[in-house]
Structure 1
Amino acid sequence: MSFVSTVHGVIDTSELGRTYMHEHVFVLTADVQQNHPDEWGDEDTRVADAVAKLRALAAQGVKTIVDPTVIGLGRYIPRIQRISERVPELNIIVATGVYTYDSVPAYFRHRGPALNETLGTEVPDPMVDMFVTDLTDGIAGTGIRAGMLKCAIDREGLTPGVERVMRAVARAHRLTGAPITVHTHPGSRTGALVKRVMCDEEGVEPSRIVLGHSGDTTDCDQLAELADAGFVLGMDRFGLNADTTFEARADTLVEMCHRGYADHMVLSQDAACYIDWIDPNVMPFLPQWHYLHLGEDVLPYVRERGVTEKQITTMLLDVPRRFFEVP
């Protein structure tokens, strides 16, 4: 048996059920929210809205979501705990890590490896201990343990800050066995950089890494190459069609299934109950970007184009379960 930590507690991986591998509850700019609380509004109203949306998702048959909200995205576990208590039918797996496309947060700039040259000795990175503590002891005194590690690399590429976080995540993985999700930018072929740093140099098996946002490209040859290397492909932004279309995302999934890669893909929407990065007035222009889009629109579309029920089960149940099982 293998086990995974959720907000409800530790469960056997056989209990994960239908799993969406990349959904946020809230994405927030912590400093803005703390200093300008009028933007957030009433706490109870926000919590009630999240509970309603997550209950609707569970009613579609989704049993588990992975919420990769970490430092840089406004993670606040006591709020997630409060919401989870009111949606007992849904497992929420939370993550630890740091989200940046460029430099590390200011807190880390003069700690750890940044002091190597000054002190003339190798200084351990405090990020590693932070991540390991979240995974093994729990987060901020809540007793809730992270079940996933998270980092990011975008079009800016492998900046020193991005590389430092990536290596800290890899080292925390080696100490704990926790799997990893990486926000990637497939248009810049950043998956190859993940492979070089995390796999070739830090020793992480590609099968333990989800390359998030792989569905942002229609280049199926690139995706096949990454899947053949062993990575799990996150086809996880369905509904976010600002720079693409519904059809482009869905047809890419269909093609990859037709090529035989269902057992290397996971599905999700990267949606949230509320994200303060986007003016609320813009959200009506993204009408499909919500938790129910996969069930309501995407799965019927791909079924009509030859994706089988077995392949859907593979992507939504089998691959997530296998991903969280300790090798």
Structure 2
Amino acid sequence: MPQVQTVKGPVDTAELGTTLMHEHVFVLDADVQQNYPEEWGSEDDRVADAVQRLTKLAGVGVRTIVDPTVIGLGRYIPRIQRIAEQVDLNIVVATGCYTYDDVPFFFHYRGPALDEALGTEVPDPMVDMFVGDVTDGIAGTGVRAGLLKCAIDRQGLTAGVERVMRAVARTHRATGTPITVHTHPGSRQGLAVEQVFDDEGVDPRRVVLGHSGDTTDADHLSELAEAGFVLGMDRFGINLETTFEARADTVVEMCRRGHAGQMVLSQDASCYIDWLAPGVMDLLPQWHYTHIHEDVLPYLREHGVTDEQITTMLVDVPRRYFEGAA
């Protein structure tokens, strides 16, 4: 039976059950948190709050969350281990690097950045780092990454974004680990992802194009689905530049077009994100872990999406993605 790595060890893909494919536990600026710990407050209180929130999520029937928190988003696995031990959820964690523009300074004069100076091709250390997270575990915790993460936003395929994307692609080819990509569908960045991954020999069926639900352009999304990509309709609740109805109606339309088998659902929520000033969350009352089950699924059903299609998006597609099955 195929298995996927979780914080508490490998589980059979058949046991993933209802899966939310893009949720964070915490999103943090690690430098700020390390140097201004008063912003974070009590570690015990933060952990207890996360346990409470994730226990509520498990209570609506979710069995697994995929947490694509990597370098640039404040990944700290010992804290996630502590939480995972107290909740009845599978938590799949990631390796990779999150940037919209340049690589972190650590990588500026390592690897390909030295090619011209040395007159030879220098391997990218990111690949070995990511492979190690997948095969050996992250930072001595023994927790192995179950997926890879990179990003491209409206800035497009900058040199830094392309470097990370190719490192992720090469790690995928070396390990078979699936990929999720933060994308900006309004500027059709999924097409840039397709270009790079095709060049690197990545099967699009092993790739989630995250945040695809940020657009209502069903023709563009259909093009990506027909190319084989999994579409992350995964920002339900973030309704600052769009509406609940726009996000849900796009899923309805894509199901009507026969693409339920190429979509996953999620909220991109977290227990705490330090990118937001106090009070900002009050503007997003639906942005929480149970919004899909409380609000989205009833709306989808009322507008013609079948229970079979919902099961496909929440259970079958995630399982297929991790198994690498056609």
C-alpha distance after superposition, 1:81-104 (max 9, x if no partner)? 0000001x2000000000000000
TM-score by length of 2: 0.99
C-alpha distance after superposition, 1:182-205 (max 9, x if no partner)? 000000100000000012x10001
CA RMSD of aligned residues (A): 0.5
**Structure 2 Cα separation of the partners of residues 229 and 102 of structure 1:** 26
User: Does structure 1 residue 21 correspond to structure 2 residue 51?
Assistant: no
Q: Which residue of 2 aligns with 1:96?
A: 95
Q: Which residue of 1 aligns with 2:144?
A: 145
**Contact 1:53-1:273 at 8 Å conserved across structures:** yes
Deviant stretches of 4+, over 6 Å: none
**Contact 2:267-2:292 at 8 Å conserved across structures:** yes
Q: Which residue of 1 aligns with 2:213?
A: 215
Q: Which residue of 1 aligns with 2:166?
A: 167
Q: Which residue of 2 aligns with 1:31?
A: 31
Q: Which residue of 1 aligns with 2:182?
A: 183
Q: Which residue of 2 aligns with 1:116?
A: 115
**Structure 2 Cα separation of the partners of residues 74 and 317 of structure 1:** 28
C-alpha distance after superposition, 1:238-277 (max 9, x if no partner)? 0000110000000101111111100000000000000000
Matches within 5 A, 1:156-305: 156-199=155-198, 201-305=199-303
TM-score by length of 1: 0.99
Secondary structure of the structure 1 residue equivalent to 2:94: strand
Amino acid at match of 1:5: Q
C-alpha distance after superposition, 1:51-71 (max 9, x if no partner)? 000000000000000000000
Shift of 1:24: 0.2
Shift of 1:281: 1.1
Secondary structure of the structure 1 residue equivalent to 2:39: coil
Secondary structure of the structure 1 residue equivalent to 2:122: coil
Amino acid at match of 2:86: R
Percent identical pairs in the alignment equals 75
Alignment size in residue pairs? 325
**Structure 2 Cα separation of the partners of residues 326 and 223 of structure 1:** 22
**Contact 1:2-1:326 at 8 Å conserved across structures:** no
**Structure 2 Cα separation of the partners of residues 218 and 194 of structure 1:** 19
**Structure 1 Cα separation of the partners of residues 157 and 86 of structure 2:** 41
Shift of 1:326: 3.5
Structure 2 stretches of 5 or more lacking a match? none
Shift of 1:8: 1.1
